[in-house]
Structure 1
Amino acid sequence: MKQFSHFSHRHLLNFTEVEEEDEIICSGCELNLSGSAAYSCTKSNCSFTIHTSCFELPQRIRHRSHPKHPLILLSSPPYSDGEFTCDACGESGVAFTYHCSTCSFDLHVGCASLPESEDCDDHEHSLTLFYSFPKEEQDSIFICDVCHCPVAKNCWIYYCKVCNYGTHLDCVTAQECPDEE
């Protein structure tokens, strides 16, 4: 069986299929691996496993939300507490982050690859990804038009300027409110 190396892990990895009933969390994006192709550590006492898509992530990207500097893929947060807060969704992470060391800017790998526009079941127009609140919304509390929960001021949103309709990043495709802190 062919074995693979990855910058984020010191042991060799095997390509594997994760069964639906397996409850394994990706060591890269922190999402469930059920029913996915993945790479797993060859050491029996090591639980490192990542999606094939996380295995193939570029180690350096340019992102429209942070145009001044490139973002570097780190296998773990560079902070002393071992966590980062995503500048897109406001949620914490302990695994892969796209990071700018100059600005202490961090993105979950999933947030770094969000589409520039999305269709929402509850709205007739396509919604555009905004990296900050639209000017007309910056002085008020913005309420998600899907879950009706407030959207944190520093978080990205999907928004329709025509209708003043906006959603949390998660709510554009899901019909529930993301965890609020």
Structure 2
Amino acid sequence: MVRHFSHPHPLCPFEVEEEQGLTCSGCELNLSGSAYKCNTRSSTCDFYLHKSCFELQRKIQHASHPQHPLILLSSPPSRWGFFFCNACDGSGSSFTYHCKACDFDLHVHCSSLPDNVTRHDHQHPLGLVFSFPKVEDEEEDKYCGVCKTGFKEEFWAYRCKE
């Protein structure tokens, strides 16, 4: 049994099959593979963590927010019980990498996005950008080249620099 800062009870390792339909209490994504679960005998405690969420660093320096380190919190600091991610604008109600000074939050999965990705349908690598530069004479709308969904300039995206 092991302890984690985010939970008052001991945790034990276990293997999860995706069809069990469990959700990670840290990142709020579907759980599968190596994980940890609450080892208390209480039937009301349904706490689960991906092994990777269990191993998250408590403090990181992220390129999107170079001014201050980001601290891993087990729950959002707001009184409403949720946060909006500064990377994707999605909400979260569990783990967040947070900067108190700037009221800046990242989902844990957004904090670990790769700097570059390659796609079979595009000849150049795509680089992660934290915002798009505003160009006055640029008339091109900002739409995803795959799903054609529009996105806001202040959120992250992968972009071809070529």
Letter in 2 for 1:150: G
Secondary structure of the residue aligned to 2:19 is: coil
CA contact (8 A) 1:131 1:155 kept: yes
d(CA) in 1 for partners of 2:66 and 2:136?
23
d(CA) in 1 for partners of 2:86 and 2:74?
17
TM-score, length basis structure 2: 0.93
Q: Which runs of 5 or more structure 1 residues have no equivalent in the other structure?
A: 163-181
The farther-off stretch of 86-95 and 12-21 is 12-21
CA contact (8 A) 2:18 2:30 kept: no
Secondary structure of the residue aligned to 1:54 is: helix
Secondary structure of the residue aligned to 1:66 is: coil
* Alpha-carbon distance change, 90 to 138 in structure 1, aligned in 2, over 3 angstroms: farther
By percentage of residues, which structure has more strand?
Answer: 1
Q: Identity over aligned residues, as a percent?
A: 54
d(CA) in 2 for partners of 1:105 and 1:40?
29
Letter in 1 for 2:20: D
Offset from partner CA, 1:113-135 (integer Å, 9 cap, x none):
11110012221100000011134
CA contact (8 A) 2:118 2:126 kept: yes
Partner residue in 2 for 1:40: 37
Query: How many residues are matched?
Result: 159
CA drift of 1:136 comes to 3.5
Q: Which runs of 5 or more structure 2 residues have no equivalent in the other structure?
A: none
CA contact (8 A) 1:90 1:154 kept: no
Q: Which runs of 4+ in 1 moved over 3 A?
A: 134-141
Give runs of aligned pairs for residues 1-181 of structure 1, distance below 5 A. 3-34=1-32, 36-43=33-40, 44-136=43-135, 141-162=141-162
